[in-house]
Amino acid sequence: MAKAYWVSAYRTVSDPEKLAAYSKLAAAAVEAGGGRVLARGGRVVAHDAGIAERTVLIEFDSFEQAVAAHESAAYQEALVALSDGVERDFRIIEGID
Number of domains making up the chain: 1
pLDDT tens digits along 39-49: 998 898 999 98
Burial label, 97 (beta-carbon count in 10 A; 0-12, 13-18, 19+): exposed
Looking at residue 48, its amino acid is D
Provide the domain limits for residue 79: 4-94
CA dist., res. 1 & res. 4, Å (int): 10
The alpha carbon of 23 is separated from its chain's Cα centroid by a whole number of angstroms, namely 9
Residue 80: phi and psi, rounded to 5, are: -60, -45
Task: Give 50's pLDDT tier (boundaries 50, 70, 90).
Answer: confident
Task: Give 21's pLDDT tier (boundaries 50, 70, 90).
Answer: very high
How large is the average pLDDT for residues 68-74?
Answer: 98
How large is the average pLDDT for residues 47-58?
Answer: 92
Task: Say whether pLDDT at 97 is over 90.
Answer: no
CA dist., res. 22 & res. 38, Å (int): 18
State the CATH number of the domain containing residue 62: 3.30.70.100
